[in-house]
Amino acid sequence: MAGRKKLILLGVGTAVLAAAVISLAAGSMKGTKVETALAQRMDVEDYYTEEGVITFGGEYQVMAQASGLVGEILVDVNDLVEEGQLLFTIDSTDYQYEKQLAESTLEGLRAQLEFSRINQVMTVSPGEYLDSVRQALAASEAQYRSAESVYQADQVLFASGDISKVQLEADTAAYEAALSAWQQAKGRFEESEQYLKSLNEAGIDSDTINERFYRSEESQLTTQIQAQETAVSQLEDRIGKCQVRAKQKGIITQLPVKTLSVIQEGQTGAVLNGRGGAEAEADVLTNIAPYIKKGDPVEAVLKLRGKDQVYEGRVSQIYDYASRGTSSLGLDEYRVHVKVALPSADDFSHKDGYGVSLKFLLYQKADCLTIPSSAVFQAEGQYFVYQIQDGRAVKMPVEIEYQTGIQTVIASGLQEGDEVIDQADSEGIYEGAKVRK
């Protein structure tokens, strides 16, 4: 009896197995079962969220652009200063002396040029002109010697306290101006005398000598005048830089100038934490950065005690290079730094350094032709979809405009209502494979 039961069970099992094989064979003949999707038109938006930090422009150093004794300091640490506000001054006395000297030299050169032109018009010979220059040289030397005597006497008198520093500085300036005028006159006489000598030795007639002499004289003086004008302009600029001002609104966080008696050009005098406006900064992945444009809207979400405060910002700056970092999985990744201008600095008062969630709008378009992103695959640099024709999967090329994790916007290759295989990477799906819905 038991043996008979075993035979019956074996027969039933064999029948079930045979039925399954027949069923599988029949299914195989019909093809792989697939889900399909229709190409349809809809509105598409895509966003990317990255964590950022609220800043107020960051710290920047206020560096001296001139050298000299530290003058007046008009601010202190923790002071809020406005853009253009005077922070401290640098004594410009030396620059003022140099400017006066340069202006005196410039006036002398202009006078010489005018004198040369008058002599040329009056047809005075170069020899007679040199005599007048010689006389001017003698006069300037006498003036220099006199100023030198006063200057040397002042050194002794100032040391003994018999004259003030103001008097010493005034006589020093007069001495330096007289020295410059004498050296200038001496150089002009020697150059002119040598040039006239070379013209005479060349055996040139007197009319040609006159023309060449005065033309050379005018050319040299004009060049010297231009150089001196540049020097005066540069000194005026340097004097202006002795007034050190804030380039943007901010809070004084450090004031090194308070510990200095003399400051050098390029030395930091103050450090400001910028308050030009609230910003959020974040580093976005390089495959996202190309879709972010300056001026794009950004939703900034600030989480405080479980309550979200939402603000609308705008992309204000996108760095033009990427920096290498490490992902949470320990892999190398490259990111681009992006800044977002926030609406009002007052809303973010005392929130410098707070974390903020930034939601970037990457793509937005109405009435797009779309299919599921799972229906699209790439091969040899081209995008494709599978359609069903005569019970088989047929690879069709398409051009895509944009792709999200869910939807793909089709630029060309499909029409509204076209049917595609939904999961293009499913097992058994390939070009020419038998498929069924």
Q: Cα separations (Å) of 341 from 50, 101, 250, 338?
A: 15, 50, 17, 10
| pTM across the whole model | 0.47
Work out the end-to-end distance of the chain between its first and last CA atoms, rounded to an integer number of angstroms: 49
The pLDDT value recorded for residue 130 is: 72
Q: What angle, 0 to 180 degrees and rounded to 10, lies between the N-to-C axes of helices 165-201 and 126-159? A: 160
The pLDDT value recorded for residue 21 is: 47
Long-range contacts of 82-85 (CB under 8 A, 24+ apart): 82/246, 82/249, 83/246, 83/247, 83/248, 83/249, 83/276, 84/245, 84/246, 85/245, 85/246
The pLDDT value recorded for residue 258 is: 94
Question: Helices marked H in 54-125 — which ranges?
Answer: 93-121
The pLDDT value recorded for residue 70 is: 94
pLDDT in tens, the chain (437 residues): 555 545 444 454 554 454 454 444 444 567 889 999 999 999 999 999 999 998 876 678 899 999 999 999 999 998 888 889 999 999 998 889 888 888 888 888 887 777 666 655 444 566 667 777 787 788 888 888 988 888 888 888 888 888 887 788 778 878 887 888 788 778 777 777 777 777 677 666 666 656 666 676 677 778 888 888 888 998 999 999 999 999 887 888 899 999 999 999 889 999 987 665 788 899 999 999 999 999 999 999 988 777 888 999 999 999 988 888 888 888 889 999 999 988 865 677 677 788 999 999 999 999 999 999 999 999 988 999 999 999 999 999 999 999 998 999 999 999 999 999 999 998 889 999 999 98
